[in-house]
Amino acid sequence: MLRQDFNRPDIKRRALADHRKKQFADPTYQATEYHHRLNFYATPPTADITLEQFEQWAIDRLKVLAELEACSFRNKSLAETASHMKPLLEKYLLLQPNTSSSSKLFEERQKDHYSHFILRLAFASTEDLRRRFSRVETMLFRLRLNDEGYREKDAFIKDINLDCEQVTEDECNKYRDELAAITGFKKGSEEETWIKVDWERVPDLVESRRVFMRAGKAYVPSKEQSSMVVAEFTKRLDRALELTARALPRLDEDDRLTPILDHLSKNFITPDASYTSSTSSVAGADISARNIDSLSAHFPLCMQNLHRSLRRDAHLKHFGRLQYTLFLKGIGLNLEECLIFWRSAFHKITDDTFNKEYRYNVRHSYGDVGGDSNRRGGGYSPFSCQKILTEHPPGPGEAHGCPYRHFSLENLTALLQGVGITDRSVLNGVKEDKESQKFHMACNRVFEHVHKNEIKKAKEESIMTSAQLETIVHPNEYFKRSYLLKNLGKANGDDIKMEDS
């Protein structure tokens, strides 16, 4: 197999490379040893791998990260996430401990090392991608750290140079009672080791009295060291991502890697966030142009906002039309009805203008016109929350995007009140979710408030399984679930069917 060093552009290019581009033009090969299965990814890899490995390893890691992100959207606890992720990690990113007799430790760790750095390149380009990457990589690191054996964890912490001092056995004996008061530490206990750091580095542990304080130093027991290590991991990764972002333009000249990296970052979507019209239709519902106004009561806030703006202005700008058209297509509105809907909604313009400027785009979204692949695939898929939250933020005069993210708090509160959400505790919860950037949580909070009676009934009567009530990560799922819940009473088991989402 042809081996190509992904760090090294071809020879002609290397000769021409200017000295400022040295970082990518002239890597020095360094043999890498992996003493631990945990990795802080401080040193970029330099050995040769094939382009196929480059892509496959990155895709495998991406599957793991996307699933981790889905676990966090669903608010799974650490323990639930760990058990959910176990088989996936074993399949795509297995890392065995030093105590294992496997002969594949080096290969496993090498794949982990390379795939991290490849995705670091793919996700360094925008602040959003950097933040998401850092978040999910931190989740992955935390899972692995928690899973690590006591001795290996201890050895790893010593190696990463956390800029802290090990507390000696003499000191442990000297402060035995004070340390015991913190954790129930007993002399000679193998399970407890202590480090000391300047107390300013662990203010949360000091505040909650989870450390022993002496002479400006905080004595941190091993069980609390994990949170320090995780925080340090995130801090170093964030810094490294900033540096990578600055170096990225120099990669543009490598036409083998740029398309792969581009493709990887575009596919960083939660696996269940993609939506096809076959999973979205609601049997028995009248999905027609004339019924959109009444159906809009079941729309999530992003689509309600588009609908209200459309009714107010008799117009929406390009991205608003695209987001809304694909959503309507996703709820089951057929092309013909969709054209009727847009034509009547744009009532201030002539037929001629509509046909010339808008009709084509609607047909294109449905795959009725456009390139072969679009036609074959039946047009474009409705946007997931992830896509709406992270791509094309709305500018002045635009109504697309996600109000939980893109509106100011005042405007968001006014919009929520405008659609009937006036409960103080819900509005406060939304405010907190927005401040901590948990936009999905805000949306799900509102959903649960609006449908609380129906959800209670569905649970009591076992009409919906817990999988069907999991956190919503797609506007079309919001619609479908809302419609079905509100029509539970009318279903009589026949005309409204609850299918697996």
Binding ligand SF4 by CB under 6 A: which of 109, 400, 440, 451? 440
Pick from 57, 185, 324, 478 the residue near ligand SF4 by CB under 6 A.
Answer: 478
Alpha helix ranges (H) inside 346-469: 351-357, 359-365, 372-376, 385-390, 403-406, 409-418, 424-435, 439-450, 452-460
Please say which residue, 65 or 446, places its beta carbon nearer to ligand SF4. 446
Contact between 302 and ligand SF4 by CB under 6 A: the answer reads yes
197: closest CA among 230, 224, 171, 220?
Answer: 220
Comparison of 247 and 409: residue with beta carbon closer to ligand SF4: 409
Assess 326 for contact with ligand SF4 (CB under 6 A).
no
Which C-beta is closer to ligand SF4: that of 243 or that of 414? 414
Rounded to the nearest angstrom, the gap between the alpha carbon of residue 51 and the centroid of all alpha carbons in its chain is: 26
CB nearer to ligand SF4: give 61 or 440: 440
Site string for ligand SF4, 7-46 (x = CB under 6 A): ----------------------------------------
Is position 498 an interface residue for ligand SF4 (rule: CB under 6 A)?
Answer: no
> Which of residues 9 and 330 has its CB atom nearest to ligand SF4 in the complex?
330
Residue ranges in 392-411 that form contacts with ligand SF4 under rule CB under 6 A: 402-404
Q: Say if CB 103 and CB 30 are below 8 A apart.
A: no
Q: Quick check: 256 and 469 in contact, CB under 8 A?
A: no
- For 138, the 3-state DSSP assignment is helix
Partner residues linked to 196 by β-bridges? 165, 219
How many angstroms separate the CA atoms of 192 and 169, rounded?
11
- By CB under 6 A, name the one of 93, 124, 388, 484 that touches ligand SF4: 388
Residue 302 CA to residue 378 CA, distance in Å, equals 24
Angle at 356 between CA 358 and CA 308, to 5 degrees: 25
385 near ligand SF4, rule: CB under 6 A:
yes
- What is the widest separation between alpha-carbon atoms in the chain? 89
475 interacts with ligand SF4 by CB under 6 A: yes
Give dist(CA 382, CA 359) in Å, integer: 18
Question: Would you say 296 or 374 has its CB closer to ligand SF4?
Answer: 296
Helix (H) or strand (E) holding 165: strand 165-166
Nearest to 156 by CA among 174, 169, 144: 144
State which residue, 25 or 385, has the beta carbon closest to ligand SF4.
Answer: 385
Consecutive H or E run containing 77: none
> What DSSP line would sit under 422-450, residue for residue?
--HHHHHHHHHHHHTT-HHHHHHHHHHHH
| Per-residue contact string for residues 91-130; x = within reach of ligand SF4 by CB under 6 A | ----------------------------------------
Nearer to ligand SF4, 62 or 385 (CB): 385
> 301, 316, 322, 458: which one contacts ligand SF4 (CB under 6 A)?
301
Count of residues making up the chain: 501
With binding defined as CB under 6 A, does residue 439 bind ligand SF4?
yes
Query: How many angstroms separate the CA atoms of 32 and 12, rounded?
Result: 28
Q: For residues 36 and 400, which CB has a smaller minimum distance to ligand SF4 in the complex?
A: 400
User: Minimum CB separation from ligand SF4 for residue 384, in Å?
Assistant: 8
Q: Which of 9, 221, 300, 367 binds ligand SF4 (CB under 6 A)?
A: 300
Should residue 139 be labelled a site residue for ligand SF4 when binding is judged by CB under 6 A?
no
Total chain residues near ligand SF4 (CB under 6 A): 14
The tokens describing 86, both together, are: 């176990």
Binding status of residue 331 toward ligand SF4 by CB under 6 A: no
Determine, following the binding rule CB under 6 A, whether residue 74 of this chain makes contact with ligand SF4.
no
Shortest distance in whole angstroms from residue 382 CB to ligand SF4:
11
Which one, of 386, 65, 137, 121, lies nearest residue 261 by Cα?
121
Which residues are at the interface with ligand SF4 (CB under 6 A)? 300-302, 385, 388-389, 402-404, 439-440, 443, 475, 478
